[in-house]
Structure 1
């Protein structure tokens, strides 16, 4: 029996319901076109944005008086080992201030300290304190990214964006080098849907679930890349997955923000030796994610690891900073009868992000007419290593 295929029509179809997909949906809807978002799980409540720490880098003299767009670009190019696409890197840096502070228009709240000042941080690889945070204390530790996605979801719904949850995209349909639509599966109604459209924005994230050790959510399985490649687009830099060094494995399993390294946290091996200065005498524990992950791997290989990782020592971080900026971690430890910064925490590197992805130009267009990409689905912005 041949299954039936129902048809829907829209001006723009967006694949993925995380931050990139939701922001693209809002932009398209405000441009006066009809928009649909197809999400493998639930828009705003799935994907890697869900488990993000809430930190966002913004080059603005209002955040750090000594910062500039050019410095942000230089830091990104340096971290990316000179392999970044300079057009995409500049696009990221030049738009960061407008986009980050513009999140307030959608109802996103940036985190502030007890004095009302923005919570700022300097993650490894950044030469300035340009990392801001969203307000996440009201959210569970494995869903802090909803501080961004839920306000954007509500805003998009109010604009009339149509959301197709539990509707994975199976294949993009193109003819003569131009997009004509997408075949999807509506899992709730158990039917195929052909969505006819002339423009598709792929924003379905990376491919972390290809690896056994990852902090990516279960739905990040490389859909962005497979769909684009099958439609005739070009992929680039897929040899560059990023390992995030600060994944807690004991006494809790959760990411620990790399911003804390700028606040005084350090790494120690099982002999309690602060080993990072041996590998990177200048950067020390502020080395970039790829450098830190490699150093940890070498310590474990040499027999100086702890349960496949190393100790994360936050004893040098001011207690008030721990309680305000990293409240979710101090609370997690307290629930276990422990104190963060005093009792041992063990971390290990896990796959976190893909620098590679769909090859796009400065307008985020692929080589297939009508096919664009956003977020982690894009390749080239970060070169061989992404900053926080």
Structure 2
């Protein structure tokens, strides 16, 4: 058993994890990052060209940016959080200049509209290492460890390359393990299976905004790419008839119209009228998108090609671990959350923030969580804890409630995908559909809860399966509880927005899922 001792343990290896590690180290803490893959190449940022919510420190411009975002938040966002995120993003990006030189004045004044994902994450890795951060690649986390009072004080996992388990004792843990796309084929998302949600709930944390998980990206039918090329797309059916699809600025109508078109048959994209200069921008900041077409011999801006919708779940959706205060702590002492692992409702409300806001949230929540975790951990350095006193919290996939037996995990995952990615079930929700899905998902949960157990490396796959089933159940239960249509969440039996639901919904529980309103139980504490 490899044993690790550190002030702050960062779980994950994407943008949020990188910024959390940097922030914690700058605050003075010892920091260890444990990533399921290789920090810098795993996750959805690596093949992307992430933009950021990049607004200069001009009061009028920032107020306008916040005002525009509030218009699409449907009453569930917080302007003070938005201002904080914008400011942290503006201050933080220029710090990467030694590792990712920007064209401009060296102070971020001419920050480029998009960054190459691989180079961005490589810069974060190098910046973190320059501050003394220890990075342990291929060290997936299986479960959190808590003291007898419930405070999170570490984690346990499995070293994929050395093939042995490890445990970490930490003053604080930052959960930055990403969201969940239910293995939809979304580019870069295969390792994003909702592990952080499951581990957080097992430790006693709460989720928020899980009903806002209805997000899809359009890509060529043969492979998921990034969505930037489609800002100026026209769409056609198999007969060559142009379809009436609203623009991207009407997100709900855009997605619903596309889904309607897919009901009728194949859909084709035509980028002849794409904005001038878009081709050059894509080739520079999203080379993975270009490669997908080049390998097929398709010119994306001249040839009409078939497209498909790939589910994005909570990655471009909203929900995640509930944030309790401005340090991005969760409702469990010692556990912080950042990026897609945390709810984005504070800045996105009920509709996706898209690339710019979502990237800014990953960066800024990472900065806040890293700093908060470091301060908390350093205060506890004299609080002696030993590994023997820590309790492992992992359950499903590790410690079944019944006799261990063979479980067809591929079949379980397929069941989850059928309930969460099917356009008719996810986009046009109703009590009947959601209730049926909940029964199917509950049955899948009970099957793996009773008999699934992974040993060694197989434990990683077992926990991923458990996390996807659990995430699906939470998303579905929250959608069933929100009896209205708001933002990304559309109910055909409740088509209007209802004032009594202008509150975030908090979701908890494993065997029995409980959904309640946040408004009567919590007051935001903003620094």
Asked if Structure 1 and Structure 2 have the same fold, meaning a TM-score greater than 0.5 normalized by the shorter chain, the answer is yes
Deviates more, 1:288-297 or 1:11-20: 288-297
Q: Distance in 2 between matches of 1:38 and 1:119?
A: 30
The reply to whether residue 133 of structure 1 matches residue 75 of structure 2 is no
Q: Distance in 2 between matches of 1:67 and 1:348?
A: 40
Q: 1:286 aligns with which of 248, 252, 277?
A: 248
Q: 1:373 aligns with which of 337, 350, 363?
A: 337
Q: 1:258 to 1:173 in 2, by over 3 A?
A: same
Q: Distance in 2 between matches of 1:59 and 1:356?
A: 25
- 1:72-126: CA deviations, max 9, x gaps? 2233333333223555434323323223344325x224579xxxx9697xxxxxx
Q: Distance in 1 between matches of 2:228 and 2:281?
A: 16
Q: Distance in 1 between matches of 2:56 and 2:85?
A: 13
RMSD between superposed Cα atoms in Å: 2.7
Deviates more, 1:344-353 or 1:66-75: 66-75
Deviates more, 1:184-193 or 1:198-207: 184-193
The reply to whether residue 192 of structure 1 matches residue 165 of structure 2 is yes
- Which residue pairs with 2:235 in the alignment? 267
Q: 1:368 to 1:61 in 2, by over 3 A?
A: closer
TM-score by length of 2: 0.59
Q: 1:344 aligns with which of 294, 304, 313?
A: 304
More helix by percentage: 2
TM-score by length of 1: 0.78
Q: 1:111 to 1:229 in 2, by over 3 A?
A: farther
Offset of residue 387 of structure 1: 2.4
The reply to whether residue 226 of structure 1 matches residue 198 of structure 2 is yes
- 1:223-258: CA deviations, max 9, x gaps? 1101111111111111221423322215xx232433
Q: Which runs of 5+ in 2 are unaligned?
A: 355-527
Deviates more, 1:173-182 or 1:192-201: 173-182
Q: 1:331 to 1:349 in 2, by over 3 A?
A: closer
- Which residue pairs with 1:139 in the alignment? none
CA contact (8 A) 2:233 2:270 kept: yes
More strand by percentage: 1
Tell me the secondary structure at the aligned position of residue 219 of structure 1.
Answer: coil
The reply to whether residue 296 of structure 1 matches residue 262 of structure 2 is no
- Which residue pairs with 1:76 in the alignment? 69
Q: 1:75 to 1:313 in 2, by over 3 A?
A: farther
Offset of residue 49 of structure 1: 1.5
Map of 1:40-189 to 2, 5 A cutoff? 40-60=36-56, 68-105=61-98, 107-110=99-102, 132-134=113-115, 136=116, 145-175=117-147, 176-189=149-162
Offset of residue 322 of structure 1: 1.6
Deviates more, 1:46-55 or 1:69-78: 69-78
Q: Distance in 2 between matches of 1:267 and 1:90?
A: 37
Q: Which runs of 5+ in 1 are unaligned?
A: 121-131, 137-144, 277-283
